[in-house]
Chain A
């Protein structure tokens, strides 16, 4: 087996603490990212873009954000849908108020605005923990959706109450609206996901990440060791909301194109993202991706097999999928309560000893 670390000696601390310490991992991941950037854009079509790749990218970003808050800092949040709505409406208001603004900047500023909102709704976390905090963030979910429904300023007084993204270009290529080519929207999202996944990894492995994990694991000891709970918790809320805002902005402006808050950013989205990180693995960057892919792609896969392959009626398949996915979630949680990322870690450990387990 070539997947092993023997012979791969580290002679400096820098080499020891790199992101992918095993050489095979490193090469595989670089190759994969190169594949995503250099090969996929030439082959991507409308179906793959709209039904598979874009949503997975967007949900991965949302899962990454929630994982920073819940997985790394231990603060449970059910406000993800609401924060995504903030990102979506921020990007809408920004791009309609300043049509000349670069779309990259619009999305990043939407994340920034969501971070500020996240800090406000993170304030209760200084007093309450666990389920009680979840209920407090639930208030954020309902309040924000209500706000975007009620205040016409947010949807520019449109008659339908919906927000629709105007066509915007980056380097002369449309990335929003119906004329945007699949490869452009795909690359636009991919850049955000890759860059911010890297940033998430960097933040979680250093001082900030340790202060979050310390608060998660034992908040009293963390405080006595010198972690300021206020700044640790609020920075987790801010950064998590930033990511979720990014994903909300991308979800609306690149993927959906038009949105209405109750439908697009309801409580079911909060739960969906929470399930993604629980299935994928709390406190794992890789887990965020694999969880998002699992929760989003599994129904698509079943649907293609059953409707496309067996020719079963769509409504029956719909219900079957609910049962199958539910069953599989339970199965995976029983097999490995710490999520798919842990399952992967265990597999790697086994592979390392294969074929001579001791």
Chain B
């Protein structure tokens, strides 16, 4: 594949991934890679296996076949929380925030892999635990500023409107300071204005923190605008992969989205 335009090595490569649930084949023999520092979109019609793909990447599903290479090494069968520790964060299609906790606590939970004072220091609080808490609070406040959610810092997220919840969820994933950020339909259910905001945040994140991003999105306008490269899935198979313009012109992709006339 021609990758000259991108910044270099693959951060994540998937090799011949196959995943099935009983007789249902969710993914069949899929290979693609995500380069360091790019925005990679995964698109496809409903039920194409996009979310399954993300679940494989962050270890929630274990594929029956295939290899996942992350950051230059072959990844074993790790649990999701171990994979989070390696530097993969994600948001969910249906918001999966901690509803009883405040925005601040949600974001602080995002940094949990980076906190490690033991239970005795935490019980005492003064000293190590407080120091660690304040250090991370500072980082989190930076993200709160960045996402412009200062006003809802202490509001329980269950009370926030949908668009803000999506933003908080992005914040929680950002707080992890991951190498790879997976966004599962970050703009689903938003109006044009909110979508524009979200696009701006995604691009800013990409520029400011240099995070590699993989996103699933149905809004083709958005995908074509912000993605560096696009991979297209349909019925669990890869039917297209390349730069947005090439993918848009690809006959297979057009057929998958618009249907083929059988005459």
Q: Which residues does A use to contact B, with CB under 8 Å?
A: 13-14, 17, 199, 202-203, 205-208, 210-211, 213-214, 216-218, 220-229, 235, 283
Contacts and interface: CB of A to CB of B under 8 A. Distances in A.
12 contacts: A13-B141, A199-B123, A203-B122, A206-B133, A208-B119, A213-B101, A213-B109, A220-B96, A225-B81, A226-B85, A229-B81, A283-B100
Nearest to A228: B81
Query: Secondary structure of the B side of the interface?
Result: helix
A306 B79 CA distance: 61
B214 interface: no
A50 B79 CA distance: 52
B176 interface: yes
Contacts of B110: 225
Interface stretch (B25-33, B124-132, B242-250): B124-132
Interface of B: 58, 60, 79-81, 84-85, 89-90, 92, 96-101, 105, 108-110, 112-113, 115-117, 119, 122-125, 129-130, 132-134, 137-138, 141, 172, 176
Given A13-B134, A213-B98, A226-B81, A208 B122 contact: yes
The 10 closest A-B pairs by CB, nearest first: A226-B84, A221-B96, A217-B98, A226-B113, A202-B125, A207-B115, A199-B123, A13-B137, A210-B109, A223-B80
A17 B141 CA distance: 13
B214 to A, nearest CB: 14
Contacts of A227: 81, 109, 112
A283 B156 CA distance: 13
Nearest to A213: B101
A202 B124 CA distance: 7
Given A210-B108, A224-B84, A202 B123 contact: yes
B122 A214 contact: no
Contacts of B133: 17, 206
Contacts of B113: 225-226
Nearest to B114: A226
A211 B109 contact: yes
B129 A222 contact: no
A217 B100 contact: yes
A222 B109 CA distance: 8
A225 B123 CA distance: 24
B109 A216 contact: no
B172 A225 contact: yes
Contact of B58 (A205, A213, A217, A224): A224
B118 to A, nearest CB: 9
